[in-house]
Structure 1
Amino acid sequence: MSAIHPAEKSASRMARLAGLSYALYTAAGLYITFGPIPSFSRLADQGAETETLGFLFRTGLLAEVLLYTFVIVSAAAMYVLLRSVSQGGALIAAFCRLIEGAMGATFIIFKYAAFAAVMNPELTPAFSGEERVSLMLLLRDVTSSALYFLLIPMAFGGVIFFALFFRSRYIPRWLSGWGMFTYFIVGTLAASIVLYPPLEQHVMLFFLPGALFEWVLASWLIFAGVNTQRLKPVAD
C-alpha cells in the first residue's frame, strides 16, 4: 500500500488541478460571451465613453488569455492522469488541446491589432477613416469566424480524453459518456459552420450544453476526484 499511496496522491492532485482549470476557463468563457465587453462598432464611435469601453475590452482580452492558459494547464493535468491508460492516446489528446491554445493565442493577437487600430489612429496615419474601419472589420471577422477552426482540434482532443476516462472508469461512465457526446457535438457543429457559414445563426444554442458539462465535470474533479482504486501504474 505504501508504494501505491504516492501514485494515488499525485492522481488526486492532477484531477483537482484539471477540475480547477476547467472551472476557471469556463468562467472566463462565460465572461467573454455574456460580459460587458463592447463590440468593435462601439469602440469605433470614438465617443466620450471610449476610455471606459477600452478598459472593458481589455478585460475581455485578459479573460481570453486566462482561458487558453487554463485550457493548456487542464490538458497537461489530464495527460498526466490518463497516460497510464494509453500514453499515445493521452498525448494526442493533449496535443490537440495545445493546438487549440496556440490558435487561440493567434486570434488574441489579431483581435488586439484591430483594437489598437481603433483606439490609436496614429498607428495607421496613411489610412483614411473608412480604410481604418475596414481594416478593423476585417480583423474582427477573421477572429470571430476562425474560432470555429479552433473548436475542431479542441473537440477531437476532448473526445479522446473522455474515451480514456470511459475506459479507465476513473470517473463515472455516465460523465465520461456525456463528455464524449458533448465534444463530438461541438466538433460536428464547428465543422458544419466552417463548411456552411449561414448555419451559425441557427445552431449557436447547441454550444451552451457544453458549458454545463464543463461545470459538472469541474465540480466532480474538484470535490470527488478520481477513483484511485482503478489507477494503473505508468509504463516505463
Structure 2
Amino acid sequence: MQRYARIAGFLYLTIIVTSLLSLLAVESRLVVAGDRAETARRIADSDLLYRAGLVYDLAMFASVVALAWSLFVILRTVHRDLALLALLWRMAEAVVGAVTILFGVLAALLAAEPDADPALVDAMLTARDTGFDVTIVFLCLGTILNCALLYRARLIPRALSGLGVGAFALMLVGAAAGLLLPEHKDALMAAWAPGIVFEVAIGAWLLAKGVRTPRPPATAPAPALAATTR
C-alpha cells in the first residue's frame, strides 16, 4: 500500500506542475481575452510554444488516470464500490480532458492558415475552455469522494482529508457557477485556490510519509474449555 501511496503523491505533484506550466507559461502569454485576432496571431507565431502547452495538458490528464488507479488500489479495502465510483469520475475527467486537447489542436491548425478566421479560432478555444470546466466538475466529484474515504479510514491526517472535502466542494460550486455564468468565470477561479493548496499538501504528504497502515481487527481470545469432570 505504501508504494501506491507514494506513486499517488508523485502524481499529485506532477499534475500541479504540468497544469501550472500550461496555464502560466503558455496560455497567459498567448491567449488575449476579448481579442480574437491577436490571440490567433500569437498562436500562429508561437506554434511550438502553444503545442508545448498541449503536451503539458496531455501529461496532466495521463497522470490523472494513473492517480485514479493508485487511489483506487489504496481505497478499495475501505469501500470498494465508492472507490470505484471515484475512479470512474476521475476517468471521466481524463476523457473530457483529452477532448479539450483536440479542440486545442484544431485551434492551432486554424490559426496557422494564411486566411485564418479569428472567430473560428476563438470558437475552438471557447469549446476547449468549456470542456475544461466540465473536467473540473468530474475532478471535484472524484476528489471529494476519495477524501471522504481517506477521512473515514484515517489513512492520512483527518485535517488534511477534511481540507480536501471542503476545498473541492468549494471548487465544485465555482465550476458549476462558471458553466452557468461564463462572463464571471475569471472571478470564480478564486475558488480553485484551496484545492491547489490541498493537492500540493497531500502530494507532499503521500510522497514523504505514505498512508497509515490500518490495524487488523482484534480477535477475541478463545473461550476456556469448561471442566467436564465431576
Deviations 1:75-131 (A, max 9, x none): 10000000000000000000000000000000100110111111244xxxxxxx36x
Displacement after TM superposition at 1:41 (Å): 4.8
Question: Are 1:137 and 2:130 an aligned pair?
Answer: no
Question: Are 1:29 and 2:6 an aligned pair?
Answer: no
1, 15, 18: which one aligns with 2:5: 15
Q: Relative to 1, partners in 2 of residues 1:192 and 1:230: Cα closer, same or farther, differing over 3 Å?
A: farther
Secondary structure in structure 2 of the residue aligned to 1:56 = helix
- Note the 1:54-203 alignment, pairs <5 A: 54-121=47-114, 129=115, 132-203=117-188
Q: Relative to 1, partners in 2 of residues 1:54 and 1:230: Cα closer, same or farther, differing over 3 Å?
A: farther
Q: Relative to 1, partners in 2 of residues 1:140 and 1:75: Cα closer, same or farther, differing over 3 Å?
A: same
Secondary structure in structure 1 of the residue aligned to 2:77 = coil
Q: Relative to 1, partners in 2 of residues 1:175 and 1:61: Cα closer, same or farther, differing over 3 Å?
A: same
143-152 or 88-97: which moved more? Answer: 143-152
Tell me if the contact between 1:169 and 1:230 (Cα under 8 Å) persists in the aligned partners.
no
Tell me if the contact between 1:82 and 1:165 (Cα under 8 Å) persists in the aligned partners.
yes
- Name the TM-score, length of structure 1 as normaliser: 0.84
- Name the TM-score, length of structure 2 as normaliser: 0.86
Query: Percent identity of the aligned residues?
Result: 27
Deviations 1:190-217 (A, max 9, x none): 1111122233132222212211111111
Displacement after TM superposition at 1:31 (Å): 0.8
> What is the RMSD of the two structures over their aligned residues, measured on CA atoms?
2.0
Question: Are 1:224 and 2:212 an aligned pair?
Answer: no
Amino acid at match of 2:145: I
Name structure 1 gaps, 5 residues minimum. 1-10, 122-128
Q: Could you tell me which residue of structure 1 aligns to residue 41 of structure 2?
A: 45
Aligned length: 211
Secondary structure in structure 2 of the residue aligned to 1:45 = helix
Deviations 1:135-183 (A, max 9, x none): 1111111111232122111111111100000000010000110011111
Structure 1 distance, partners of 2:99, 2:90, is 14
Secondary structure in structure 2 of the residue aligned to 1:158 = helix
Question: Are 1:206 and 2:196 an aligned pair?
Answer: no
Secondary structure in structure 2 of the residue aligned to 1:84 = coil
Q: Relative to 1, partners in 2 of residues 1:231 and 1:112: Cα closer, same or farther, differing over 3 Å?
A: farther
Structure 1 residue ranges, 4+ long, deviating more than 6 angstroms after superposition:
none
Displacement after TM superposition at 1:218 (Å): 0.4
Structure 1 distance, partners of 2:47, 2:154, is 47
